[in-house]
Each structure stands twice: as C-alpha cells, then as structure tokens.
Amino acid sequence: MQLEAAHAVKITKLVEYVDRKEDPLVQVVRTHQHNTDSAVLQTARCQRRKQKKDGKARGCMGNCHVT
C-alpha cells in the first residue's frame, strides 16, 4: 500500500511539473492531446446518438464532422 501511495505522489509531482513547464515541445504535445481527446469525445457522442436513433451499436463516422 505504501508503494502505491509513493507512486501516486511521484506521478502527481511529475504532472504538476509538466503543467508548470513552458517548454514549446510540452505545449505542442498538450495541444495534440487536447485535439485527440476532443476527436475521441466527438466520435463517442456521435455513436451514442446513432445508437439511440437506430437502437443498434453501429458507428457513424461518415455522418459526423470532427474538427
């Protein structure tokens, strides 16, 4: 249990460090991650709407526009 707590503290400190860092590469990665997360969320929303409409678990990538 103590080992898990130590890992959690270390990871938290690393995340806080990266959040404070103003390095251009870190900002590029952060922007890319945000865009990726947004695309995944948009796809998930689209699939939920399609499931509600059809009552089936089918994808609808052709009907959604991800920006």
User: Cα(31)–Cα(47) distance, rounded to whole angstroms?
Assistant: 24
Question: Which distant-in-sequence residues (6+ apart) come within 8 Å of 22 by Cβ?
Answer: none
Task: Indicate whether this model's pTM tops 0.85.
Answer: no
Q: pLDDT digit of tens for each residue in the chain (67 aa)?
A: 688 888 888 988 888 887 787 778 878 887 888 788 888 888 888 887 877 777 655 455 555 555 4
pLDDT value at residue 65: 52
